[in-house]
Structure 1
Amino acid sequence: MLNSKKSETLETYILGDDLRYYENLKYLPLTPYPSSIQSAMIVYCFRGKAQIQVHDSMHWIMPKELMILFPGQYVSFNEVSADFQTITLVISLSLHSDALSGVPLFSPHFFFYMRSHFVYRQSETDIQRLFNFFGLVKEKITSSDLYRRELITHLIRYLYLELYNYFQKQETLFLGNRQETRKEELTNKFFALIMEHFRENKDVAFYADKLCITSKYLSMVIKETSGKSAKDWIIEYIILEIKALLKNTNLNVQEIALKTNFANQSSLGRFFRKHTGMSLSQYRIASLDGTGEVLK
C-alpha cells in the first residue's frame, strides 16, 4: 500500500540499472536548463507544483496530474514549491525500449504528440487505477521473483498502451481508422536512430544506410510522414542539444564543440548562426538574463 499521503519521508526502491522508484520525491532528476533526457519518467504529483518545460511547451504540474516523459525529449525543471511531492519512476532506455517492443509499432505521430501532450489530468477513478499500478511496480521491485524485470516491463507496457489508446482515439477523430504503413515503420526506426546517433552523425546518408534505403527515399518518407525533412529533424536535435549545453554555464564553447562533434568552435558557431540567426554568445547571454523568446 502506498504511503505518499501519510509521510513526507523519501522512499527509494531500485531494480538494478533499469528502474528507480521514488515515493515522496520533491526534486525530480532533471536539470533547470533544457537537456536531452536519457531515461523515461512517469511522475504523479499529489502535492504542490513545479514548472516543467518539454521542448517548447511549458506547464505547471499540479496535484492529480500524471506526467510522462520519453527519452530524447528536451526537458527542464524549475520553480518548485516548498510542498511539491510526487511518486516517480525513472526508467532506463533499455527497459523503456523493451516496454515498447512486443506490440504493434507506435505511429511516429504519437512521439510528436508526446512532445506537447505530456501531462494528463486524473479523475478519481484514474487515480485509484494509477495507485494500483504504482503499488504493483513497487511490489515487484521489492520481491524476489525470478522474472520481476519481465513483469515490470509488462506493467509499464500496459500504461504506455493505455496512453497510446487515448492518443489513437484523438487521432481517429481526424484521420479515421487505418493501419500503420511501411513508411511510418521506417519513420519510427529513423527517430530511434536519431536519438542514438545525432551527436556524431549529421548526414542523412548515415541513417539511410542504417535503414538499407537511399537518402532520397528516406528524405521523401520522413517529409511525407512528419511534415519535415530528415535533414531538418537531424538539425533540430543538434540545435536543441547545443542550446541545452549553452545554458549549462559550466561548459565553454570548445567543450560544447567536442560534445556535439564539430571540428572546432568556428564551425559550431557558423552552424548555430545559420539555423537560429544568433551567435552562440548572443544565445547564451539571452538565456542567462531571462529575457526574450530565444529561451526556447
Structure 2
Amino acid sequence: MKTKKPETLTFERMTELFYNDSAGQSEKVLLGKEMSIIFDVGVGVRRVLQEGMLLQMLDYRCGFIRRGWVRAKINLVEYTIGIGTLAFLTPGSIVEPLEYSADFALEGMAVSAELVHLSLNNHLPRIFNGHKTDGRMRVSEETCDIVDRMLRLLFDVSHKARHDNQVVLNLVAAYLNFFDQQFAEGTEMSVGRNANERFLFERFIYLVNNYSGREHHLDFYAGKMCITVRYLSTMIRKASGVTAKEWLDRALVTQAKVMLSYSSRNVAQIADELNFPNASFFCKYFKRLAGCTPQQYRAAR
C-alpha cells in the first residue's frame, strides 16, 4: 500500500529544485512568486526522481516536451509522454515521475491562480475552467515552435528591469489562450455555446472544486449561484452534456481516490474528512461510482 504523502510544489520549492548557479542557468530559468518559466524541466525531474518525491501542484502549468520522453503518474493515471506533446495541469493535480529518457527536456510555464485570473480578467479558457484536471496532445513541430517563441518573448519581457506589468499580463493571456485553442481544435471540448452557459458552468465547476469535499448536495451550489437547483441542473447539462450531480460525484470520488492512494488514513477517517455520515455510507457510495470498495481500490494501487 502506498502511503507516500504528496509534497506541495510551491514557487519556493521550485527555486530549490531548478535553480543552479552553474553557467547559463539564468538564461534557462525565470523564477518568481507568481510565475516561473523554465526551458529545461528535466533538471528538476531528475532531482524529483532521485528523492522519490510525489508532487501536488498549487498553480497552472503549460508546456511541451522538446526532446525525449517521460513516464509519470498524473492524477492517478500512468502515461508515457513523448516529444512534440503539449501538456497542461490545473491546481490540485498530483504528479509522480517514474522514468525518463536521457535526453528528456520539457519547457513551460507555471503561473499562480491569482495571476491567471488577473491576466484573463476572470474569464478562464475552457481547458482551465475545471472540467479537466490535466491534458496531453501531440502537435506539429510548427506549433511547438510557436509555443517556444511565445514563451521566450514572455521570458525576455519579464526579465527586463523595467517591464510594463500589463504587457506581461497580456503575454500570459496570449500563451494560455493559445494552449486552449490547440486543445479545443484537437479534442471534443464543447462547453457552453453562449456566454451565459459558459459563465454558469465555469462558476459551478469553480465551486465544486472548492467545496465538494464538504458539500455534497446541489442546493448548496445553487444557493451560492443564486439560482434554483432545477435551473442549475438544466444549464449544466445543456452546457456540458453531463449532469451537475455527475460533476459533483466525479470531484468527490477523485478526492477519495487521492486520499486512498497517497495517504495512510483509514476508510473511516477518509469518510469523516469528506463529510460522509459514516464509513458504511461512504463505502457504498464509492463502490457505486468506482466499481470497487475503497479497500479494494487501495489494495490495487
- TM-score under structure 1 normalisation? 0.74
Aligned position for 2:32: 15
2 CA distance for matches of 1:106 and 1:236? 21
After superposition, the Cα gap between the structure-2 partners of 1:106 and 1:65, relative to the gap in structure 1 and judged at 3 Å, is closer
**Which residue does 1:242 correspond to in 2?**
256
Instruction: Tell me what 1:223 maps to.
Output: 237
Q: Distance in 2 between matches of 1:245 and 1:8?
A: 40
After superposition, residues 61-210 of structure 1 pair within 5 angstroms as 61-71=81-91, 77-101=97-121, 106=125, 112=131, 117-123=135-141, 125-145=142-162, 147-148=164-165, 150-167=166-183, 169=185, 180-210=194-224
Which deviations, in whole Å up to 9, do the C-alpha atoms of 1:83-107 show, x marking residues without a partner? 322223222121222333366x645
Distance 2:200 2:230 in 1: 13
What is the Cα deviation at residue 184 of structure 1? 3.0
> Take 1:108 and 1:9, find their aligned partners in 2: how far apart are those partners?
31
- Distance apart, 1:240 and its partner CA: 0.9
- Checking the alignment, whether the CA contact within 8 Å between 2:197 and 2:235 is kept in structure 1 is yes
| CA separation of 1:23 and 1:171: change in aligned 2, threshold 3 A | closer
Q: Give SS of 1:50's match.
A: strand
**CA 1:229/1:35 → structure 2, altered by over 3 Å: closer, same or farther?**
farther
Say whether the 8 Å CA contact 2:137–2:183 is kept in structure 1.
no
Contact 1:246 1:280 in 2 (8 A): yes
CA shift in 2, pair 1:144/1:129, >3 Å? same
Cα drift, residue 218 of structure 1: 0.5
Deviates more, 1:259-268 or 1:125-134: 259-268
Q: Higher mean Cα deviation, 237-246 or 50-59?
A: 50-59
Q: Among residues 63, 80, 90, which one is paired with 1:43 in the alignment?
A: 63
- Give identity over the alignment, percent: 21
Q: Mind listing any 5+ residue stretches in structure 1 that lack a counterpart?
A: 1-6, 288-296
Cα shift at 1:239:
0.4
Partner of 2:293: 279
Residue 239 of structure 2 aligns with an amino acid whose one-letter code is T
Question: Aligned equivalents of 2:71 and 2:148: distance in 1?
Answer: 23
Cα distance in 2, alignment partners of residues 217 and 36 from structure 1: 35
Aligned amino acid, residue 94 of structure 1: E
Conserved in 2, the CA contact under 8 Å of 1:52 and 1:75?
yes
SS in 2 for 1:261: coil
Please state if 1:24 is matched with 2:40.
yes
- Paired letter, 1:119: M
Please report how far the alpha carbon of residue 264 of structure 1 lies from its aligned counterpart in structure 2 after TM superposition.
4.7
Offset, 1:185: 2.3
Could you say what the CA RMSD is over the residues aligned between the two structures, in angstroms?
A: 3.7
Q: How many residues align?
A: 272
Q: Which runs of 5+ in 2 are unaligned?
A: 1-22
1:194–1:234 CA contact under 8 A, matched in 2: yes
Deviates more, 1:48-57 or 1:267-276: 48-57
Tell whether the 8 Å contact from 2:36 to 2:110 is kept in structure 1 after alignment.
yes
Partners of 2:251 and 2:122 in 1: how far apart?
27
